[in-house]
Amino acid sequence: MNGCSASRPFGCPESSVLSRKKAWTQGRKTSRGSSNPHLDMAHPRLDASSIRNQYATHLQAGLALSLVLLLGAVHLSPPLGREVEPTIRGHEAAALRHVQSTRQAQAPPAPPTPMPPQVLPREKVVESPSVEFDPSLGLDATVDRSDGGAKRPDCGGRRALRGKTYYPPSALRAGLEGRVRVKFVVGKDGDIESPTIADGAGALLNRAALRAVRRLECTPGREQSRPVEAERTKTVVFALPEKMDGS
């Protein structure tokens, strides 16, 4: 034992401090001069070339892994042009069938049956009977032609014309008969002017018809209460006596 330990119960403090300081100094020199083999094995030193090589290796490995992942994603993804049918679950399929059946049950009603066209009866067109006026009747009715009170000349009726007609004896012997239409003008004084044959029945009967018309006594036509000239037409009938009696 050290001599300081007997006199002091806690030992010699100066010698312990010096020994610890000396040990610390020697340990520091040792760490500077030589490396600790245990420390070197746990943390090896890396130079610049090894760092570059490891970086290049890690970079290539990362690129290769990225390429593999990209190819896998492209292979697993569905093509764009192909339609992907949706997956219908059990309850969704049942609901879809229920909707379809409901739509079929609610189909629109059939269109109403078109009514057959009604055939309307044709209206009967009643034709008015044609009335032919026979000028040979010699009717000389006075007709107003204007609002001014115009009146046609009056030359008598059929009886007046028959009383003026002379049947030529030669025509009777030859059995000639017919109708002769004569146009003439009634002057302002009632005289017969310019008689002409409009439709004849032979020279013999035409002359007899002109003579009968010239013998007529007419009342001149009037317009606004003044006498005026007016044109008239008369038909002279020549018929054999037996036919006249039969009629």
pLDDT in tens, 117-168: 665 655 444 343 333 334 444 444 444 444 456 788 888 888 888 888 888 8
Average pLDDT, the chain: 70
Instruction: Give the pTM.
Output: 0.38
β-bridge pairing 221-223 and 178-186: unpaired
Cβ-based burial of 167 (10 A; exposed 0-12, middle 13-18, buried ≥19): middle
**CA-closest candidate to residue 12, choices 26, 24, 2, 23:** 2
Distance of CA 17 to the CA centre of its chain: 120
pLDDT in tens, 176-198: 889 999 999 998 888 888 899 98
How much is the pLDDT for 112?
A: 74
Confidence label for 239 from pLDDT (cuts 50, 70 and 90)? confident
How much is the pLDDT for 14?
A: 52
Q: Which fold has domain 137-246?
A: TolA/TonB C-terminal domain (3.30.2420)
3-state secondary structure the chain: CCCHHHHCCCCCHHHHHHHHHHHHHHHHHHHHHCCCHHHHHHCCCCCHHHHHHHHHHHHHHHHHHHHHHHHHHHHHCCCCCCCCCCCCCHHHHHHHHHHHHHHHHCCCCCCCCCCCCCCCCCCCCCCCCCCCCCHHHCCCCCCCCCCCCCECCECCCHHHHHHHCCCCHHHHHHCCCEEEEEEEEECCCCCEEEEEEEECCCHHHHHHHHHHHHCCCCECEEECCEEECEEEEEEEEECCHHHHHHC
How much is the pLDDT for 44?
A: 53
pLDDT in tens, 13-68: 555 556 666 666 665 555 554 445 554 454 455 567 778 888 888 898 989 999 88
Please check whether residue 156 is in contact with residue 140, taking contact to mean a CB–CB distance below 8 angstroms. Answer: yes
